[in-house]
Amino acid sequence: MDADRRGRARRSAWMAGAWLCASLAGASGTRAAEEPPESTLDLTLAGALKRAALVSQDRRIAASQVTAAEAQLVASRSAALPQVNADFSYTRTIRTPFEVPDGGIPGMVLPWGMKNTWVGGFDIAQPLYAGGRIRAGVEASRQSVAVSRAQAVEVDEDVKSSVVGAYLGAVLAQRLAEITRLSAEQVDLQLRESRLRREAGNASDLDVSRAEVERENFEPERVAALNDADLSLHRLMQILNLPAGTKIRLTDGLSASSVQPLAPAVLEGMAVGALERRASLVAANRSIAVQQAQEKTARAALLPTVKLSARLGAQAFPVPVMPVGSDWLDDWNVGFSIRVPVLDWGQRSSQIAVAREQVTQSTLQRDRLVYTISLDVEQGRAEVSRALALLSARTRTAAQAEKNHELTKLSYSVGSASYLQLTDARSSLQKARANEVQAVHDYYIALVRLQRAAGIPIDLSGIGASPAVEARPTAASPTRTQ
């Protein structure tokens, strides 16, 4: 019986352990089913530009500079308006040579010698003539606001240009990594075929050895391509201020079929009016106006200033500490003052000379900027034309390399082509594909530079998805679109 009891106890313990394990497994499965899978952010070029507009520190700094310039304009305008200040004070006299008896002098209120003195009122000052200093200051502030706004536009375009460059660079690196991966898969397939052909007696050990060496030579190239893709993607994430570890998928690709070539007339039209559109040139012209206004301010320092002032106040000398209504005596006065510069030992004349030279420097900088913009526009047009011609040539080359590779593969399968010819055809195809993608990238970059130089808003509406690179989301990987 003891043996039976021990057997039943072991069976009970085993069943309890099995039930516990099943319960834990079910709970774990339930938690795994409840936990959402890690999401992937689908990022388009338009979404990247929109996010950069929200998180860019440079744009925030530029906006802050605009706000500061607008506040300075308000301060400059206020200098031409009446300045009103109020004051109120109390003085308790402890000891004085003009001490008045506690009861005061009957019938007399003296401003000195009293124990308690209360003074309050308003001081009003209005400039009547400042030699044009105030008007010049307002003009300088107004032009400074225009400068800061134009610089904010330039900063915004610079941010867009950097985002476009980083996005296209990341897409290019991913596309090149994909081309390298596809070539490596073809080499793996060819290696397996060579081994099968050797087993069938249709290939030698040399053919297999060549395939193995070629496969091994592909590994460093594949690793380097993946590393370049990761670095490019991290640079884009840094520009967009994305959290570390965020998984993103670039949905806009570099497809030669989606390129919409610009007609020569359109390229000519982009150059027309470039100087008027460039915000940097607007800022340069406004900077000259600022320096000219500051020169006027410096010259105004040689002229006299006239200011009107008034005091509307009241005084009280109560015998108790606190005054009553009848204790207050009116204290009103008005006057004006004239201030004439006489001798400053060359300080004002040197300030005028400095302001004049700053106008000259701003003018020279503006002229140099005009030359640079004109040169950038002409160079941008030439780069776009060359990029289009190169893209057309490399697209034809890629199609020819694809056809040549298919024919060589077919010839090798029937034994009319050598392995070296197949390797050469595969290498040519890989290079042609990479050159085609690089040409698409270079065309878009050249177009962005031309638009940037001509002061035209960046527009890359021709960019489309690249089927060879795009990874389709699965049920285990929900996506977000931005």
What is residue 254's predicted lDDT score, i.e. its pLDDT?
83
What is residue 359's predicted lDDT score, i.e. its pLDDT?
95
Residues 336 and 125: their CA atoms lie apart, in Å, by 9
Q: How confident is the model at residue 157 (pLDDT cuts 50, 70, 90)?
A: very high
pLDDT of 245 over the 90 cut: no
What is residue 208's predicted lDDT score, i.e. its pLDDT?
77
What is residue 99's predicted lDDT score, i.e. its pLDDT?
66
Establish if 19 belongs to a structural domain. Answer: no
**Residue with the larger pLDDT of the pair 414 and 54:** 54
Q: What is the mean pLDDT of the chain?
A: 82
Average pLDDT over residues 264-290: 89
Residues 217 and 2: their CA atoms lie apart, in Å, by 72
Establish if 191 belongs to a structural domain. Answer: yes
Establish if 359 belongs to a structural domain. Answer: yes
pLDDT of 4 over the 70 cut: no
Q: How confident is the model at residue 107 (pLDDT cuts 50, 70, 90)?
A: low
What is residue 217's predicted lDDT score, i.e. its pLDDT?
75
What is residue 251's predicted lDDT score, i.e. its pLDDT?
87
Establish if 113 belongs to a structural domain. Answer: no
Establish if 313 belongs to a structural domain. Answer: no
310-364 confidence digits (pLDDT tens): 999 999 988 788 888 888 999 999 999 999 999 888 888 999 999 999 999 999 9
Establish if 149 belongs to a structural domain. Answer: yes
Average pLDDT over residues 215-244: 87
Question: Which CA distances in Å does 165 have to 169, 222, 445, 446?
Answer: 6, 23, 7, 10
The beta strand positions in 205-344, using DSSP E, are 248-250, 305-316, 328-339
347-413 helix and 419-454 helix, angle to the nearest 10 degrees? 150
CATH number at residue 149: 1.20.1600.10
pTM of this structure? 0.76
Q: Which of 10-19, 214-223, 429-438 has the highest mean pLDDT?
A: 429-438
Q: How confident is the model at residue 256 (pLDDT cuts 50, 70, 90)?
A: confident
Q: Which two tokens stand for residue 42?
A: 């689908």
8 Å CB contact between 370 and 339: no
386-429 confidence digits (pLDDT tens): 999 999 999 999 999 999 988 988 887 777 887 778 888 888 88
What is residue 441's predicted lDDT score, i.e. its pLDDT?
92
In terms of residue numbers, what domain contains 259?
A: 45-81+134-303+349-481
Residue among 248, 226, 229 at smallest CA distance from 477:
248
pLDDT of 474 over the 50 cut: no
Q: How confident is the model at residue 20 (pLDDT cuts 50, 70, 90)?
A: very low
Establish if 342 belongs to a structural domain. Answer: no
Q: How confident is the model at residue 202 (pLDDT cuts 50, 70, 90)?
A: confident
As a three-state string, the secondary structure of 222-252 is HHHHHHHHHHHHHHHHHHCCCCCCCCEEECC
What is residue 462's predicted lDDT score, i.e. its pLDDT?
54
- Name the strand (E) or helix (H) holding 126: strand 116-129
**Residue with the larger pLDDT of the pair 115 and 134:** 134
Task: Provide the domain count of the chain.
Answer: 1
Average pLDDT over residues 365-371: 95
Establish if 331 belongs to a structural domain. Answer: no
Mapping DSSP to helix (H, G, I), strand (E, B) and coil, where does residue 130 land? coil
**Residue with the larger pLDDT of the pair 289 and 215:** 289
pLDDT of 33 over the 70 cut: no
